[in-house]
Amino acid sequence: MRRIGLAVILAVGLILEPPAAEAQTAGKVYRLGILSPAAVPAPSVATSPNLVPLALRELGYVEGQNLVIERRFADGRPDRLPGLAQELVRLRPDIIFAVADAIRAAKDATKTIPIVMIGLAPVELGYVASLAQPGGNITGVVVSQTRLADKSLELLKEMVPQAARIAVLAPEGEAFQAQLREAEKAAAGLGITLLVVRVRDADYERAFARIASERADGLLILASPILTRDSKRIIGLAAKHRLPAMYEWREQATDGGLMAYGSIISVLSKRVAAYIDRVLKGASPAQLPLEQATVYELTINARTAKALGLTIPQSVLVRADEVIQ
């Protein structure tokens, strides 16, 4: 089903997106601002700030030729985002691409420069009036609304049926409240007690010490570019404390995490690029409905399950898109 959904998205994308040769006005150089709460990612890391420029290249926008990209990263410090957003606005970009908590900063910095977002709960957080009619200068892609936390917790409980207390690793910031609310509702239905552990200043050792002292049976890592940036540290600490953990991206499972359930970052980045292309060609963000991710994938690392002494239930195996042996 996931592959069918992906095929539909790609087919629609082919209808909506013009050939690369028509992707930009001849001779014009566009200026794109990128604003993210995370640190500067290594070029090989699959993040939207890395993949969106690659997807734009496929549409005919080539950095250093007809595209200038101004990148601003907050290095995990949300307090830096307003100043960075103001820096970008002073550069007068044609459009800003904002990720997660950076959306609020970009929105506060300008009411006129178009903003294409990728993030969670834009209506609940007041970024747009509605998904169908944004009504302002923001449009883009909604990663998961709140389904991600709900389904992830359910799958983790299936993997560890005896789990009664599950820790939730959450960064600071308003963008994660919707996930927490959905996780709390799901936990009530599953008979699970949630332990919400906030990470401040990337102090993961302290966070895991608390999780261990509270004797959590498992760990849910919320969708967050900051937590994604620090995946390898988190995966290492989860292994050290022998905690079955659920992550967001497939790459986190391939790096040693037990499970990952979420959208496909390469697909999302192509959709963001398509929005940027349409806005640069004159489409109004106020009238461009936000697109919700519809394709999700479940990845399981069988080696990690074995190291934790877990037997993967058949009910989980049959739903997996990939099992890493």
Boundaries of CATH 3.40.50.2300 in the chain?
A: 2-143+264-292, 147-262+297-324
Residue 314 contacts residue 157 (beta carbons within 8 Å): no
In DSSP notation, 124-175 reads: TTTS-S-SS---SSEEEEES-TTHHHHHHHHHHHHHSTT--EEEEEEESSGG
Q: Is the pLDDT of residue 44 over 70?
A: yes
Residue 11 has pLDDT above 50, yes or no: no
Pairing of strands 95-99, 30-36: parallel
Least confident interval from 39-48, 83-92, 283-292: 39-48
Specify the pLDDT at position 164: 95
CATH number, domain 2-143+264-292? 3.40.50.2300
pLDDT value, residue 39: 83
> Is 200 strand, coil or helix?
coil
Confidence grade of residue 206 (pLDDT, cut at 50, 70, 90): very high
The reported pLDDT for the residue numbered 144 is 67
Q: For domain 147-262+297-324, give its CATH number from 3.30.365.10, 3.40.50.2300, 1.10.3720.10, 3.40.190.10.
A: 3.40.50.2300
Q: What is the tens place of the pLDDT at every residue in 288-306? A: 999 998 888 999 999 999 9
Put residue 77 in one of left, alpha, beta given phi > 0 → left and psi -120 to 50 → alpha: beta
pTM tops 0.85? no
Amino acid symbol at 128: V
Question: What is the DSSP-derived secondary structure letter of residue 94?
Answer: S
User: What is the per-residue pLDDT for 26?
Assistant: 60
Q: Is the pLDDT of residue 14 over 50?
A: no
| Res 219: pLDDT | 97
pLDDT at 106: 98
pLDDT of the residue at 23 = 45
* Mean pLDDT over each residue of the chain, to the nearest integer: 89
Which of the listed ranges 25-34, 181-190, 212-221 does the model predict with the highest average pLDDT? 212-221
- Mean pLDDT on 151-157: 92
CB 59 within 8 A of CB 269: no
In which band, very low, low, confident or very high, does the pLDDT at 77 lie, cut at 50, 70 and 90?
A: confident
